[in-house]
Amino acid sequence: MTQTSQQVVIIDTGCANVSSVRFAIERLGYDVTVSRDPEIVLGADKLFLPGVGTASEAMKNLTERDLIRLVSQVEQPLLGICLGMQLLGEYSEEQGLNGTKQVPCLSLCPAPVVKMETGELPLPHMGWNTITPEPEHPLFKDIPEGTYFYFVHSYAMPAFNTEQGRTIAHCDYGKPFTAAVQSGNYYGVQFHPERSGKAGAQLIKNFLEM
Exactly one of 15, 82, 109, 171 is catalytic; which is it?
Answer: 82
Q: Which three-class secondary structure state does DSSP give residue 206?
A: helix
Contact at 8 Å (CB) between 190 and 159? no
Q: In angstroms, what CA-CA distances link 100 with 56, 128, 173?
A: 11, 27, 20
82 is catalytic: yes
Q: In angstroms, what CA-CA distances link 103 with 88, 166, 204?
A: 12, 21, 29
Contact at 8 Å (CB) between 145 and 132? yes
Residues in the chain, overall count = 210
194 is catalytic: yes
Query: Cis omega before residue 124 (within 30°)?
Result: yes
Dihedral sign for Cα atoms in the order 30, 68, 161, 117: positive
Exactly one of 125, 153, 170, 192 is catalytic; which is it?
Answer: 192
Nearest partner of 43 among 64, 67, 18, 73, judged by Cα: 73
Interatomic CA distance for residues 160 and 37, integer angstroms:
33
Exactly one of 94, 109, 153, 194 is catalytic; which is it?
Answer: 194
Active site residues: 82, 192, 194
